[in-house]
A = this chain, B = another copy of it.
Amino acid sequence: MPDEITLPDDRYFGPDMRQKEIALQLYAQVKDLPLICPHGHVDPRMFADPNYSFGSPADLLIIPDHYVFRMLYSQGIPLGKLGVPRQDGGEVERDHRKIWQTFADHFYLFRGTPTGVWLAYELRVVFGVRQQLATGTAQSIYDEIAARLATPEFRPRAMFERFKIEVLATTDAVSDPLDQHRALRDSGWPARIIPTFRPDAIVNLDAPNWRKNLDALSAASGISISSPQSLISALENRRAYFRQLGATATDHAALTPFTSELSANEADAIFQRALHGQAATDDASRFTGHMLMEMARMSIEDGLVMQLHPGSFRNHNDVIFQRFGLDKGCDIPTPTEYTRNLRPLLNKYGNDPRLSLILFALDETTYARELAPLAGHYPAVKLGPPWWFHDSFNGMMRFFDQVMETAGIYNTVGFNDDTRAFPSIPARHDVWRRASVNWLAGLVVRGFIGANDAEEMARALAYELAKRAYKL
């Protein structure tokens, strides 16, 4: 007889009884607050089409989720056996029950991992599954989930409402016509789902298919792009379009947070080299560093919040990248430096309270050393929550430990789930809310803050800070 999934009410809280009691009281006050989801990668199509279906349990929980299949791959299971589609359209496993069985056979790999925590919540709370996933329960649990997915209650819109999502931001290419977002607006369904302006594929000259991306931007904006000036005009044009459809933020990924203003001539020379496919070694990083400053200027002008996510070495594994493409679990963090890299941008724009620059990190050594001191000084800087590999209970504890003393919680922006795995959204917010109140309960029980302060801080971390920081 297999074990049941157990999700005790006091889960994740420290074991001390007085601390736990305080944590439970604080949790009771935040657990039912609506979810603010200001940064994520959910496909808006799910909601634009009222009859959208998630497909099979494997379609929903395994095949698109690199958090899941990277772990299975690390133990020698080929991605093809998990149904991950190949770039060349070559054969991969198509029997979703087999994929699910492979997943269940290796579910023990997720013991003590955040993916394990999220999946326990998704199975038990979202899908009502009682038994733990294991070799012997795989097929019956597959049946259970498949049955649920066939019901109207498990359509995306119904789940969105059940999850109490107050606002959900997607992430969108700058040339995206945002048809799904327009359809959503037109559908009469009152949910707030908004786009986010992500220009990496244009701003990073070494992005795959850069030239094609540029042409798409020209087409979308109606501006022929032949220079940095026209590029900027086109981006400004699209920002305005995104804002019309509700966008409140931009998002920027870069290998490093390098910023530095180029002269008009330098910028133009680099851009012309890129247009002719002759970019020099550091042209891409210099141009990105220049464009980040331009983006900060635009944010001051149009009010879009600017998010910067540096430090990921994308597609570290060539074999996987060539066979399976982007986002296949082989992006690896690198050491990242913010103090010197961001100085040009911050010296020019960091004292302007109209700018809101939200910084994220994969290099936790920067939390106490660079990020908290920057956020605790510059009016423009705020810190995003623990990101990606650090979106975990321990990652949150390290963030609270290393950031909050110097930055204070009011220079942080609460939580965002940053996920494409829609059913994991409430699970992720629940971990954050539990981690937050557990941390606050620790401060109360040790006399660092009073009970009233803790209540206000709990509500801020769970709901208010995100809403305010993203102007929602």
| Residue positions of A touching B, CB distance < 8 A | 3, 6-8, 10-16, 18-19, 70-71, 73-76, 108-114, 116-117, 132, 313, 316-320, 329-335, 337, 339-340, 343, 346-347, 350-351, 353, 362-365, 368-370, 372-379, 381, 389-390, 392-395, 398, 401-402, 404-411, 442-443, 445-450, 452-453, 456-457
Interchain CA distance A113-B411 in the complex, whole Å? 12
Interchain CA distance A150-B7 in the complex, whole Å? 58
Chain B residues positioned under 8 Å from A340 (CB to CB): 313, 334
Interchain CA distance A105-B78 in the complex, whole Å? 59
Contact of A112 among B6, B12, B334, B408 (CB under 8 A): B408
A–B Cβ pairs within 8 angstroms, 13 of them: A11-B446, A74-B381, A74-B411, A112-B408, A116-B449, A319-B351, A329-B377, A333-B369, A334-B370, A363-B365, A364-B365, A372-B389, A393-B405
Quick one: closest B residue to A368, CB to CB? B364
Interface pairs A-B: 5 shortest CB-CB: A11-B447, A15-B16, A76-B353, A392-B405, A15-B445
Contact of A113 among B74, B335, B406 (CB under 8 A): B406
Chain B residues positioned under 8 Å from A410 (CB to CB): 75, 108-109
CB atoms of A13 and B446 under 8 A apart: yes
CB atoms of A377 and B110 under 8 A apart: no
Chain B residues positioned under 8 Å from A442 (CB to CB): 15
Chain B residues positioned under 8 Å from A317 (CB to CB): 346-347, 350-351, 377-378
Distance in angstroms from A313 CB to nearest chain B CB is: 5
Chain B residues positioned under 8 Å from A448 (CB to CB): 11-12, 112, 116-117, 393
Distance in angstroms from A300 CB to nearest chain B CB is: 14
Interchain CA distance A373-B362 in the complex, whole Å? 11
Chain B residues positioned under 8 Å from A71 (CB to CB): 376, 408
Distance in angstroms from A29 CB to nearest chain B CB is: 17
Given A3-B452, A15-B19, A74-B375, verify A447-B8 contact (CB < 8 Å): yes
Distance in angstroms from A54 CB to nearest chain B CB is: 26
From A71, A117, A445, A447, name the one whose CB has the most chain B CB atoms within 10 angstroms: A447
Contact of A339 among B333, B395, B405, B447 (CB under 8 A): B333
Contact of A453 among B18, B108, B363, B364 (CB under 8 A): B108
CB atoms of B316 and A346 under 8 A apart: yes
Distance in angstroms from A69 CB to nearest chain B CB is: 10
CB atoms of A339 and B347 under 8 A apart: no
CB atoms of B353 and A363 under 8 A apart: no
CB atoms of B332 and A370 under 8 A apart: yes
Chain B residues positioned under 8 Å from A363 (CB to CB): 365, 369
Given A353-B76, A365-B365, verify A373-B347 contact (CB < 8 Å): no
Distance in angstroms from A366 CB to nearest chain B CB is: 9
CB atoms of B19 and A379 under 8 A apart: no
Given A313-B340, A334-B339, A408-B109, verify A347-B376 contact (CB < 8 Å): no
Chain B residues positioned under 8 Å from A335 (CB to CB): 335, 337, 365, 369
Interchain CA distance A405-B330 in the complex, whole Å? 16
Interchain CA distance A442-B12 in the complex, whole Å? 10
Chain B residues positioned under 8 Å from A374 (CB to CB): 332
Distance in angstroms from A444 CB to nearest chain B CB is: 10
Interchain CA distance A73-B347 in the complex, whole Å? 15
Contact of A70 among B332, B370, B377, B401 (CB under 8 A): B377
Chain B residues positioned under 8 Å from A447 (CB to CB): 6-8, 10-12
Distance in angstroms from A335 CB to nearest chain B CB is: 6
